[in-house]
Amino acid sequence: MADILVLAEQQLGKLAKASLHAIGAAKILAEKTGGTFEIAVAGQGVAGVAAQLAGFGAAGVVALEHDALAQYTAQAYAQAFGNYAKASGARFVVTAATSIGKDCAPRIAARLGAGMAADIISIEGAAGALVYRRPMWAGNVIAHVKVNTPTVVVSVRPTDFPAAEATGTASLVQSQAASVDAGSLRMQYVGLEKVESSRPSLTDASVVVSGGRGLKEPANFALVEKLADTLGGAVGASRAVVDSGWVPNDWQVGQTGKVVAPKLYIAVGISGAIQHLAGMKGSRTIVAINKDADAPIFQVADYGLVADLFGVVPELTDKLAARKG
């Protein structure tokens, strides 16, 4: 029986990429503890998702099936995963710190009477003395957390753990009825308002171009979108422009938005407040365009352009488009 249980996430039968990072974290834990890991996925008709998870070196993969799991609700999923984790005797429960993971993991920890380290960025120390590092106050403080309960729940920040790679082995995949008391559920799924976009998703994109208040007015955000589209990237934004209603909420990058770590992050007319940096400073290469040479964004930028964005962004977009042919 595996002592590490990874809770994989799926929506509408599609495996969340973040779950591969949770498996990556489980592998690190397994190396440190000398243990093995198992993967569970919950839903209705998720045997196909479970089969996709068979090649990552897990001791086993289990699909937990129930009608009440057809769509995500925190209560039903916490029951399914919590009851399975209890029955499996896992000592570590690992999930990605996605919106769903952040919603569900504390409920699972409560059901298991387990201590929890949330949104961790690394696992340090050796078996028996493990320390989980997690950012606090927009990344200004890194807490070192020890959990003393026999069972430990961790949610891992996907951008800080490697995505697991296929090992070529085939884990045993099984399906079983999830333990959910449907009569006890007081949450009901009402509907999903899905945002359709031809652009890559903000958290998966290898290029992100974000705009801020320096763009002056909503119509000028088209400059950021055009640059992003030329690079095949996603569009992000500072909270200032989201709060002003210029762009949708789900474009926000930062402490209270999305955490991204693309290969290339371009910040256009963004000052670089700590709350914004908390969501993008892990990006591999950061380019900042700002007319104020003292803007804090330049402290984290690999390449800084002190210039008026209304001149340089269209010029850069045209040059990149010409290069693409």
Ligand X SMILES: Cc1cc2nc3c(=O)[nH]c(=O)nc-3n(C[C@H](O)[C@H](O)[C@H](O)COP(=O)(O)OP(=O)(O)OC[C@H]3O[C@@H](n4cnc5c(N)ncnc54)[C@H](O)[C@@H]3O)c2cc1C
Task: Say whether residue 244 binds ligand X (CB under 6 A).
Answer: no
Fill in the per-residue mask, 199 to 228: x = in contact with ligand X (CB under 6 A), - = not in contact. -------------xxx--------------
Task: Say whether residue 236 binds ligand X (CB under 6 A).
Answer: no
Out of 24, 43, 101, 254, point to the residue binding ligand X (CB under 6 A): 254
How many chain residues are in contact with ligand X, going by CB under 6 A? 28
* Residue 276 CB, nearest approach to ligand X (Å): 3
* Residue 292 CB, nearest approach to ligand X (Å): 4
* Residue 239 CB, nearest approach to ligand X (Å): 3
d(CA 98, CA 102): 6
Out of 54, 121, 240, 321, point to the residue binding ligand X (CB under 6 A): 240
* Residue 14 CB, nearest approach to ligand X (Å): 26
Task: Say whether residue 282 binds ligand X (CB under 6 A).
Answer: no
Q: Is 86 helix (H, G, I), strand (E, B) or coil?
A: helix
Residue 141: CB partners within 8 Å, gap ≥ 6?
135
* Residue 266 CB, nearest approach to ligand X (Å): 12
Cα 322 from chain centroid? 34
Residue 286: CB partners within 8 Å, gap ≥ 6?
265, 266, 267, 280, 300, 301, 302, 303
Closest CA to 260 of 210, 300, 205, 203: 203
Task: Say whether residue 157 binds ligand X (CB under 6 A).
Answer: no
Out of 79, 155, 252, 317, point to the residue binding ligand X (CB under 6 A): 252
Phi and psi at residue 160, to the nearest 5°: -110, 0
Compare residues 146 and 319 and give the one whose CB is closer to ligand X: 319
* Residue 105 CB, nearest approach to ligand X (Å): 21
* Residue 43 CB, nearest approach to ligand X (Å): 30
* Residues numbered 35-94 forming contacts with ligand X, rule: CB under 6 A: none
- Output the CA–CA distances (angstroms, integers) from residue 193 to 13, 14, 98, 199, in the order listed: 17, 17, 18, 17
Closest CA to 131 of 255, 28, 24, 8: 28
Task: Say whether residue 165 binds ligand X (CB under 6 A).
Answer: no
Counting every residue written for the chain, the total comes to 325
Helix %, strand %, coil % for the chain, to 5? 35, 25, 40
Tell me which residues touch ligand X (CB under 6 A).
212-214, 238-241, 252-257, 269-271, 273, 275-276, 279, 289-292, 295, 308-310
